[in-house]
Amino acid sequence: MDKDLENIKTTLDVVCGKWKAVVLYKLTSGTLRFGEIKKQIPLIKHQTLIKQLKELEEDGLINRKSYPEVPPKVEYSLTDYGRDLEYLLTHLVEWGNEHNRLSYRAEKELEET
């Protein structure tokens, strides 16, 4: 039984959706509405954001608060569980910053911007 291996998988599984870590990082600054998240991550697609938010919620990392208004208003925020990722997220940013030579694949993807 390799516990380290399981632990890494646990964390990655929760963070490694195409934009999950970015979404979580945005939420570290505070509660955001669905549309605000979308605006702050211009490349993300509507469906993709919806699915990733749902998974993050299922995994207990974010709260979803829906107001009974029309047009709808839905706010997302980090749970305590998710807030524990904050430290890790800043390290994701830092490593990327210090090694700002984009990877071959990341570059290929972002150049469509």
Partner DNA sequence: TAAAGTGGTATATTTTAATATACCAAGGAG
Partner DNA sequence: CTCCTTGGTATATTAAAATATACCACTTTA
What are the residues binding DNA (CB under 7 A)?
A: 17-18, 33-35, 44-48, 50-54, 64, 66, 70-74, 105
53 binds, among a copy of itself, DNA, none (CB under 5 to 8 A by kind): DNA
Tell me the C-alpha distance between 92 and 77, whole Å.
20
59 binds, among DNA, a copy of itself, none (CB under 5 to 8 A by kind): a copy of itself
Q: Report whether 77 contacts 63 (CB < 8 A).
A: yes
For DNA, the closer of residues 46 and 87 by Cβ is: 46
Tell me the C-alpha distance between 38 and 76, whole Å.
12
Name residues whose C-beta falls within 8 Å of residue 65's C-beta, 6 or more positions apart in sequence: 74, 75, 76, 77
36 binds a copy of itself (CB under 8 A): no
7 binds a copy of itself (CB under 8 A): yes
